[in-house]
Chains A and B, each alone.
Chain A
Amino acid sequence: MMKVTKILSVAATMLAVAPIAAQAEDTIKIGFVGAFTGALAPYDQPTLQGVQLAVDQINKAGGIDGKFKIELITRDMRSETAQSAVMTQEVIDQQVNVLLSPCDVDPSVAAGQIAQAAQIPTIAPCASTPTLPGIVGDYMFANYTADNLQATALAYFAQKQGYKNALILLSRDTPYTEKLPLYFAKAFENKGGKIAGTVEFKMGQQDFSAEVTKIKGISPAPDVIMTAAYEPDFPAFIKQLRSAGIKTPVLGSDGIDSPTTLGLGEVAEGVVFSNAGYPSEGSSLAKFNADFKAFFKQDPSAVYTATGYDVIKVIEAAIKADGDKLDGPSIRDAIDNLENVQVATGTITYKGMNRVPLRVVALNRIVNGQKTHVEDIVPNGADVPPAE
């Protein structure tokens, strides 16, 4: 009997306290509807770690602007678009001030549309399709390096290397694997390059022999092969390409920024790829990586940890900028006007970018199984092919 009374009284206290805490002025609620299990988990799990680190740092320092403690509310949408909508409704019912959406376009659209109707600013931490904010509306922001931005940086590089003919390898299975090479082709052609051929693949096909045999037959032989294929397709492709005796340089995108690529050995030597930042000594990314290791007792598993951290820094900057207002329209406007915000991966600018931020694109080259820095590029907005 004693026990029951005790439990009841504890429960009663909790019930009494909860609404007060929720309404407390010194809290900002950030909802993260992410894919913590399922096919998108490889992106959203690291993103969540970065988010958690930023929240911890800010709260330990007394909150945003020394006032607002961040309360993070997470929901797993299990990589299912329908669940994304359901979970978004759930966090909106808990009155979040800002929403973070899953790591892909479709579930981000599902989440964004609900949040748009409720006038809650939503940021997609790592969806990279540049059309996303346009599809959803003025409360939806991208955070990650957009596909067209990345493609432009790669095209700059290809041109500088003196490549004349490029071959693109694409898959129509996702916007990323299809559009990124097409953006590259456009940017490359704008700079005077030629597309020698387009070869298509199917994601997860594992066997690239037919495609490689085709590439072998293309004349004139391309000077460079560009693709946005990633694991497990990229490793299979490059192995079979090299084992067929084709030595053409290969350009890749941030999808191959993973230990797997570095572990490929000889076949991956010399591959150049773009990503959201390179942790050169003294850089903000290097500091982030060190902080991350100190906090989680492990190295970051992917750059999504850093870009996840970035989102919280963006929110922090927006609230500082709007004079500590927490309502949706104020935060939205503030984000839309941010310029050169210092984040883990470098700086980020939303002003004049239609909610798809301008940020640094880092180029990396694989040398002896290690990632080495080639250069950082911030493309000229005029060279970036329009989102489509």
Chain B
Amino acid sequence: MALLDIERLTVRYGAIQAVQDAGLSVAQGEIVTLLGANGAGKSSLLNACMGLVPLAGGEVHFDGHLISAERTEAIVRRGMTLTPEGRRVFPSLTVQENLEIGAAASRDLRQKSKMQREEMYALFPRLKERFQQLAGTLSGGEQQMLAIARSLMSEPRLLLLDEPSLGLAPNIVDQIFDIIASLRRRGVTILLVEQNAELALDVADRGYVLASGRVVLSGKPAELRSAGLERVYLGAA
């Protein structure tokens, strides 16, 4: 059984059909990428999985449980979280406070949260140097690192990453993808939404392509590439 199972997922905003009958699954330990042009419905799909936007149809199973009707914070407690598009760190909180909030889901003592924080600082040394700085004053790349680190504080088994490379310089993008690779080594399962198809297919085990809210292609990176990804997905580099 897959860790995440999405069946016939439909999302509507009033008259707009953002996602239609989309199906997708992610197995334990995999990195799966979800590709698609601007407005294809990728973010909508992730937000729907997390309970941030209501489903107009379909079901989402995580770890064998039906979670479509659960509240966001409950889903986080089950071990799945999302690093949203555009980073969205809490600007007037310090780096440290951002991380502390990341651990809000774990009911454990602050001691544990502290240990995890140290782990994050080991993973992202740049954050450690700036732990008292307000998150809003960090650079874009630093903010993205903080956003990922913050998500990892809840020790998710499945991390949904929405366009982590958005608006970042190429060398920073490389760093972000290094981090993704290291996360997989730590056993974190990842569903990665990306505009940068080449890079995403490089790290991914499998991929899906979304167009106008529908899944139009899926398979191994090589299959997707040979299927003429460019035809359906014009954003490829």
Does A touch B (CB under 8 Å) in the complex?
A: no
Residues of A within 8 A of B (CB): none
Residues of B within 8 A of A (CB): none
